[in-house]
Amino acid sequence: MAIIVWPEALLSPLEFRAHLVPFTRSGGRTLGGLMPSIRTDLGHWRIELGGIPMHGQAKLRTWDAIDSYLGGSSGRIAVPAWSMDSAPYSSGKEEPLVLLPHSDGSSFSDGSLYQQNAISVASVGATAIGATVISMRLINGAADLSGVRFSYNHALYKTGQVVSVEDDIWTVRITPSVRELIPPGADLEFDRPTCVCNLAENDGMQRSMNADRFERASVSFVEDTFYWNQLAMGLL
């Protein structure tokens, strides 16, 4: 099932936030009256795009087209999880995508070139649904894969504790738990990770028009966990 992707180049926010909302359950009150919370591996992402400059008809029409396509909070879209400030670039700072021609030096018919990520990381072995640890082969990038975000098929993850490092293979804990089986040798997206989401509110893409024809719009999304549940049950 094809999922449309938020046009990050056209509708780029001035402020971006992606935070994981943990799912916790109460462990019951202790004798001292405290109510400890026990964290589970189930949680979801909340993504907020703030201060999107909305000058020009191209932006306004694209915004309204996405709003119409989503039709409220039931619609589905892959939202970028901008991570350029912490992504494991070899240089230690943001690097652009690499543009390359075909092997014979030619380009596509419209003159465009292949896009190749600056960071290259591949999964090692299969990582099952529900897993919270993954092994990855670092092919190109900084030798530190802790505390960074990546995605696979629009499932967004954040790495945490490093379990082990053997040559170029990193085994790390990730959160949330794996949404969809990650096969061996899968290319993991560290440059431009994405998260499949719904609007946080049915009217989340309302906008206005002011006298000087310029506004800044904001929109909030929540991870579409229902999508992953349906996918796991074979309903999609």
201-224 per-position pLDDT tens digit:
999 999 877 766 678 999 999 999
Q: Does residue 195 carry a pLDDT above 60?
A: yes
Q: Does residue 136 carry a pLDDT above 90?
A: yes
pLDDT (0 to 100) of residue 96: 83
pLDDT (0 to 100) of residue 39: 45
Q: Does residue 115 carry a pLDDT above 50?
A: yes
Residue of 236, 219, 234, 230 whose CA lies nearest to 62? 219
> Do you find a cis peptide bond into 176, omega within 30 degrees of 0?
yes
Residue of 23, 25, 2, 6 whose CA lies nearest to 225? 23
pLDDT (0 to 100) of residue 209: 72
Return the H-helix or E-strand segment holding 133: strand 133-140
pLDDT (0 to 100) of residue 200: 96
Across all residues in the chain, what is the average pLDDT? 87
Q: Do the bridges between strand 216-223 and strand 98-100 make them parallel or antiparallel, or are there none, so unpaired?
A: unpaired
- Enter the pTM of the model: 0.87
